[in-house]
Amino acid sequence: MKATKFPPLEPASLRQRASDALRSAIVGGRLKPGDRLKEVELAEELGISRAPVREALRQLEHEGLVVSLPYRATEVLGVSQEEVAEVLVPIRLTLESFAFRKAMPVLTEADFVVLEQLVEAMRVAGQRGDLDALAEDDVRFHELVIERSGQPHCLQIWRSIEPRVRAYFRRDAPRHTTADEVADEHDELLQALRAGDEQRLVDTLSRHVNNYLEPSGPTAAAGA
C-alpha cells in the first residue's frame, strides 16, 4: 500500500477534515515549503473526492499556509524567520499587550483554572515530545486570554494570523533549551495575570513573544 502523510478521514465534514489533515501535515513538517499539492493526488491519499480537497486548499490559502500558482499546482508556504521577526512578532506584541491588559481585570477563577490546565498540558506535551500538542496548547492559552479581553477586533486579527503563528510555534518547538521551557514561560504569564500587575504582565509578555526573534540552536528539548 502506498505510504500516506495523512490519517484516515471520517465521512462527515470532509472539507473541514481535509483542511485539518493538510494543516497538520504542513505545521508538523510532513509537507515542506515548496511542496506541490495536486488535487488528484491529495484526493487519492485522503480517500475522498476532489471537491472537498479543492475547498480545503482554498481555506489553507486564506490562512496563508499555501499559495495557488496560475496554471500550476498549489504550493506549501513556509514561515521565514524574517516574517516572524518583521511581521508576526510586532503584530503579536501590539495586539497581545493590549488584549492581555484588558483581560487581566476580568479573568475569573474558572479562567485561571483553564489556563493552569493548559500550562500543565504544555508541560506534559513537552516532556513526551508531542510537538503538535505543545503548539496547540500554546495557541489556545493566548487565544483564551484574547477572547476574555472583550476586544472583538483583537480576536479577529489574532485568528487571521493564528495559522502562521501556530506554524512557527511548531517549527521552533524543538529548539527550546528544556522540555519544560514553554510551560515555564506560560506559567510566568499566568502568574503575572493573577498578580494584576500591569507592568509585570507587559514585561513578561514582551520577553515571551520576543523569544521568537532569533531561534535558539538545537537543544535537548522534547523531540529534539
Helices (H), 47-108: 50-62, 81-83, 89-103
Give the chain's largest Cα–Cα span. Answer: 58
Answering whether pTM is above 0.85, one says: no
Contacts of 104 (CB under 8 A, 6+ apart): 193, 196, 198, 201
Per-residue pLDDT tens over the stretch 171-195: 887 777 888 999 999 999 999 999 9
Give counts: helices (H), strands (E), the chain. Answer: 10, 3
Helices (H), 63-180: 81-83, 89-103, 109-128, 131-148, 152-172
Residue 18 near residue 74, CB atoms below 8 Å: no
Per-residue pLDDT tens over the stretch 110-147: 999 999 999 999 999 999 999 889 999 999 999 999 99
Go through the domains of the chain in sequence order and give each one's CATH number: 14-76 (1.10.10.10), 81-210 (1.20.120.530)
